[in-house]
Chain A
């Protein structure tokens, strides 16, 4: 699979003897939108932890990009700088700082302390921040404390921070949790637009949301892939019905 942007091959990881990820393989092409579903504890978040360097797998390979770089043993910050952005299940923005500061910090710029200390905001960066704020619907909230935003707005801000990083692969963990129907629809639009220029992986429990994403779906169960294909295809799979949908 030389065309794949990310190639995950046979990874396993266990916590105190419990196999959270079990010989899992997964590929995603550049510019692909992919949804991952699966019951609680299936290993969806752990899977993202492994790709982003938070958790080391016990075995298996994680290969990135055209140069086929192994991501295992790389630090979280290195992986982020190589072009993988991540949104957490629990929205984590820096609540004490303004929306603008949150976005500016995420902007793809030099990350070394010295460069950051002497960073001067410029017209280019301000325009980028304005564009992203527009995209995530927070134009009127740029100078508010992020902690004062609503739950949904925080989720969007976090997606905005991801966009600001200009990653080639975006990993999004349960973006619609706790959102109203309108907010969900906006989020779907956001993610679909983001996927026009990069690869996006979305973990979500909400089937309506997945349907609206209209993309290939991977079903995880007990740390392995149970099924893969279109939403209609996987929802008709008897195994999937048994372990996930039928409950």
Chain B
């Protein structure tokens, strides 16, 4: 292997192993998909797997900000959701426009531009009793702008929030509470009908790509699956490069004793802001890939509990090990959808039936406590023996 990246991989074989496994997984799913292969992986399961990859990506971001930098953010799902909303606005606008224009062509009297706009507005905002485009939809017809907003809106929110919080030296549990307040405030705002984003209806039909109505979902699901796998691989590599650089050392030092880092001459607040904003942007990209696979986004997705689950995934997977975050997110979110999706068989005790839909959360809570108390390194810690030897 050649070049600086090749050298990096050889020095950190775990990255190579991870990227190899991810590629292998992608190939297997592709071979098994309905679109390209034998069809033993159903389209809906491809979507589940693609969404899981997005969860793994945000978990990596969470590990960087919490596991490495020590900032227990309980608000990163707000950035994930905002990323979804930003891409969702374009998807919904453009698809509705195409439908309206199509209908207009078949109509006897040609529609004016204004009439078409009104019809799109009524289609999208009828559910919240409106037809005018709110200001936040100003760019929804421009794909590239909306794509840029996927990173800009969450990025700028994180920058402002982080600047205010870190500058006032808010740390520890107070910072966690503040991030919960942020995500709660955002969710409550979005729940309102006049928020401009369709209140509790959220944005829907996001699985349909504008102009590709005739393309089967089995194909589209694979595109998003590949994109998610690619983003995860890239995110993993980026975060690994960061944590193995000298900046990674400073960031870990901040986690362990931020006061001491200040006396070494590092401006701790700037470092925290950098990591917080970067991870918010990664979360947003994960969200922008997730919601077209989910098909719908609504404010409940940004509820404070979502960000707490994220912390639980990373804790169970093992903080401070990037692959740990991936394992935690994958295992827990897949189990969660299995248990709560009604597939898990209920256990009948005669006098009482354990319904997993209800009891899954209890199980998760107990696992979290057990991991925190007895396996602080999480599942990922089990691999320490191999990585320690290889990565010295």
Contact = CB atoms under 8 A, between A and B. Distances in A.
Given A80-B262, A80-B264, A80-B265, A113 B270 contact: yes
Nearest to A120: B246
B36 interface: no
A92 B249 contact: no
A119 B245 CA distance: 7
B262 A76 contact: yes
B256 interface: yes
B263 A80 contact: yes
A52 interface: yes
B265 A165 contact: yes
Interface string B251-277: 011001101101111111011001000
Most A CB within 10 A of own CB, among B246, B260, B264: B264
A77 B256 contact: no
Contacts of B268: 77
Given A77-B267, A77-B268, A94-B253, A105 B262 contact: no
B242 interface: yes
B250 interface: yes
B232 to A, nearest CB: 22
Contacts of A165: 264-265
A151 B84 CA distance: 51
B247 interface: yes
Nearest to A97: B249
A111 B253 CA distance: 14
Interface string B161-191: 0000000000000000000000000000000
Contacts of B267: 75, 77, 111
Contacts of B266: 77, 111, 116
Contact of A52 (B242, B252, B263): B263
Contacts of B274: 113
Contact of B249 (A76, A104, A161): A104
A112 B274 CA distance: 11
A77 B260 CA distance: 10
Contacts of A153: none
Contacts of A75: 262, 267
A50 B263 CA distance: 12
Nearest to B271: A113
Contacts of A113: 247, 270-271, 274
B391 to A, nearest CB: 12
B260 A92 contact: yes
Given A75-B262, A81-B265, A106-B264, A96 B252 contact: yes
A186 interface: no
Contacts of A209: none
Given A105-B246, A116-B250, A94 B257 contact: yes
A66 B127 CA distance: 70
Most A CB within 10 A of own CB, among B246, B270, B274: B246
A117 B244 CA distance: 9
A29 interface: no
A148 interface: no
A196 B193 CA distance: 72
A77 B252 contact: no
A116 B253 contact: no
A225 B135 CA distance: 66
Given A75-B267, A94-B257, 9 more contacts: A77-B268, A81-B265, A86-B263, A96-B256, A97-B249, A101-B249, A113-B270, A117-B247, A119-B246
Interface of A: 52, 54, 75-77, 80-81, 85-86, 88, 92, 94-97, 101, 104-106, 111-113, 116-119, 143, 161, 165
